[in-house]
């Protein structure tokens, strides 16, 4: 079930198809999630960098899957790697090293880290 830009995912798919699309980050599903977030940066009154770092911290705390990082941090490449690392270090005492290591792995799996 591949959905082109601007299209809604097919509602006639089975629940399994819909879950599979969500888990694999298919464009239509990600676009629907993005529409839910419209205006959240402005409402937060944070600058974009701080906003993305706060979202990163939240994803680390929830041990989010790689597709979640992609959906919520699509513009993380605009952040300096040092700031991403500093954020991971800042949350480590609260969330634990396992979550931080999982986050680094998820960032890489989502293609948001370059090696």
At residue 77's C-alpha, the angle toward residues 73 and 83, to 5°, is: 90
Give the mean pLDDT of 33-57.
88
In this predicted structure, what is the pLDDT of residue 1? 29
What's the pLDDT tens digit per position in 12-31? 578 788 778 777 767 676 67
Report the C-alpha dihedral over residues 68, 71, 74, 80, rounded to 10 degrees: -30
Above 90 in pLDDT, residue 100? yes
Smallest CA-to-CA distance from 64 within 32, 94, 109, 28 is with 109
């Amino acid at each position: 079930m591949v959905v082109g830009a601007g299209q809604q995912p097919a509602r006639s798919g089975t629940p399994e198809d819909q879950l599979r699309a969500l888990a694999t980050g298919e464009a239509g599903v990600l676009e629907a999630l993005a529409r839910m977030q419209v205006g959240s940066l402005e409402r937060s009154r944070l600058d974009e960098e701080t906003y993305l770092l706060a979202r990163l911290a939240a994803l680390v705390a929830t041990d989010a899957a790689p597709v979640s990082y992609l959906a919520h941090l699509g513009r993380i490449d605009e952040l300096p790697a040092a700031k991403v690392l500093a954020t991971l270090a800042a949350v480590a005492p609260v969330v634990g090293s396992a979550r931080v290591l999982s986050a680094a792995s998820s960032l890489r799996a989502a293609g948001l880290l370059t090696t």
